[in-house]
Amino acid sequence: MQFFVDTADIDDIRDLAATGLLDGVTTNPSLVAKSGRDFFDVLKDICAVVEGPVSAEVTATDHETMIAQGRKLAAIADNITVKVPLTWEGLKACRALRGDGTMVNVTLCFSATQALLAAKAGATFVSPFVGRLDDIGQDGMQLIQDIRTVYDNYTALDTKVLVASIRHPTHVLQSALIGADVCTVPPDILRKLAQHPLTDKGLAAFLADWQSTGQDI
């Protein structure tokens, strides 16, 4: 499974990219707004740090303007993935942008039938939002299972399942068990994946034993 980080904070992206474990980045207008910087400057900086897909979202709601915005975003760098919403207008824009050879991430997916339409439109990625479904009392991970099952039924569909709205490490584990292609994770959650209290306890014990020997390496 690939790991994308869901942020527009260039310092966090640089730090995580230095591990060699970061496969891409997702952004949205809200995340870019938090940076307080120019939209295009932020995207250029991210694309310079990360070789993998960098999702940049359109802000229009009609397909003609989405296509125009998407083409402008795609011109920033070869690894830009244009994000469009899972609406009829977004699906039209997806088809057109994929025809240009541009990667497209169809976002705000909340049902398996929506995901099927995104795949039929040629989406590179579809982004189901598990945390937002959990928030309203539905099972976000069941959606991931349903999409995985539908996609696996039809080998001609090559859209990748990109799990979004991750709230905790268990979401990541469940996504991996189901067979999702990608998880896009906030920086703090991504770092938590490497943490375990027994790891910390074991390391502390090893270091204490070593220091008691009075030796050095």
User: Which band of pLDDT confidence, cut at 50, 70 and 90, is reported for residue 160?
Assistant: very high
Decide if pLDDT at 201 tops 90: yes
How many Å apart are CA 161 and CA 36, to the nearest integer?
30
Please give the average per-residue pLDDT across 21-30, as a whole number: 94
Task: Give the percent of the chain with pLDDT over 70.
Answer: 100
Domain ranges of the chain: 2-213
Kind of pairing between the strands at 182-185 and 2-6: parallel
pLDDT of residue 115: 98
Would you mind telling me the total number of residues written for the chain in this entry?
A: 217
Instruction: Give per-residue pLDDT as tens, 65-98.
Output: 999 999 999 999 999 999 999 999 999 999 999 9
Is 30 a residue whose pLDDT tops 90?
no
> Per CATH, is 2-213 categorized as 3.20.20.70?
yes
Mean pLDDT of the chain: 96
Is residue 35 over pLDDT 90? no
Torsional class of 157: left (φ above 0), alpha (ψ -120 to 50), beta (otherwise) = beta
pLDDT of 99: 97
CA–CA dist 89, 3 (Å, integer): 29
Model confidence at 21: pLDDT above 90: yes
| pLDDT at residue 33 in the model | 86
Q: How far apart are CA 208 and CA 147, in angstroms?
A: 49
Average pLDDT over residues 89-112: 98
Task: Average the pLDDT over 99-123 and give the result.
Answer: 98
Task: Assess whether pLDDT exceeds 90 at residue 114.
Answer: yes
Return the pLDDT at 36: 87
Which member of 34, 44, 72, 83 is catalytic? 83
Q: For residue 204, count other CB atoms closer than 10 A to its CB.
A: 10
pLDDT at 34: 86
Is 34 catalytic? The answer is: no
Mean pLDDT of 153-159: 96
Q: Is 51's pLDDT higher than 90? A: yes
Q: Looking at residue 135, what is its pLDDT?
A: 97
